[in-house]
Amino acid sequence: MGRSCYGRVMNKHVAEILAWPETTQAADGMPRRPWTVAEIEAIVKAGIIPENERFELIGGEVVPMPPKGGRHEMVKIDLNRHFQKITPDNMSMAPETTLRLNDKTFLEPDFCLFPRSVYPSDMRGYDVLLAVEIGDSSLAYDRGRKLSVYAAFGIPEVWVIDANRLITHVYRQLGAEGYRSALEIPAAEEIACIRLPTVAMCLARLGLKPL
């Protein structure tokens, strides 16, 4: 790669990092006031936080999300095309919808499977049959803190796709301490949703290849 090309790549990467919202860490032992979902939505509506800023709310704390890379978007586009073809008419497989879990927590799953009779803004954890995450820069968060939130609110099944390796981490058998079953499924194998087996995927058959 030539010097000028390398510089353009680095400049793009630096620009993306600088575009992230600033974060702060509360002093140890000091209480923090939690935000509510309604307050955050009002702040966004007022234009104080831009509508295109990516973040989630966990227990009243705003968690900034890093920009999505090209690999993430490529996998998401192919999966969205596939899911919309196979999802039954009485169900919705919504991309990037807001999942409001209680008055102080909302997440933004890459895909969320729920009954079509449920209006998206009314959807809660007990409505969700399957949540799908695609992780590149966010993989550790998706398999860690975010996964524990899904478990806490009773989401029965979560798929976390490593966008680079195309390994899908499948979490099932929800118990008191989280998911008792954790599988790693390679791209060549098919995965089906336990509660709705007609919703299935095989990343290799979609033409996707690991990096």
Domains assigned to the chain: 70-206 (3.90.1570.10)
Residue entry with tokens 């098919």: 190
Pairwise pLDDT comparison (20 vs 92), residue with the higher score: 92
How far CA 91 is from CA of 20, 130, 140, 145, in Å, comes to 35, 11, 29, 28
DSSP symbols for 83-145 = HHHHS-TTEEEEES--EEEETTEEE--SEEEEETTS-GGG--GGG-SEEEEEESTTHHHHHTH
DSSP symbols for 172-190 = EEEETTEEEEEEEE-TTS-
pLDDT of residue 188: 97
Prediction pTM value: 0.81
Helix-then-strand count for the chain, H and E: 5, 12
* 53-110 pLDDT tens trace: 888 888 888 888 777 778 999 999 999 999 999 999 999 999 999 999 999 998 999 9
Q: How many residues does the chain have?
A: 211
* Dihedrals phi, psi of 203, to nearest 5 degrees: -60, -35
β-strand pairing of 191-192 with 99-102: unpaired
What is the enclosing helix (H) or strand (E) of 172? strand 168-175
* CA pair distance 164, 28, nearest whole angstrom: 36
171 with 158: CB under 8 angstroms? Answer: yes
pLDDT over 60 (residue 1): no
| One-letter amino acid of 117 | S
Most confident of 23-27, 48-52, 167-171, 177-181: 167-171
3-state class (DSSP) for residue 15: helix
pLDDT over 60 (residue 17): no
pLDDT over 70 (residue 25): no
* 172-205 pLDDT tens trace: 999 888 999 999 999 999 999 999 999 999 999 9
pLDDT over 50 (residue 15): no
* CA pair distance 90, 29, nearest whole angstrom: 49
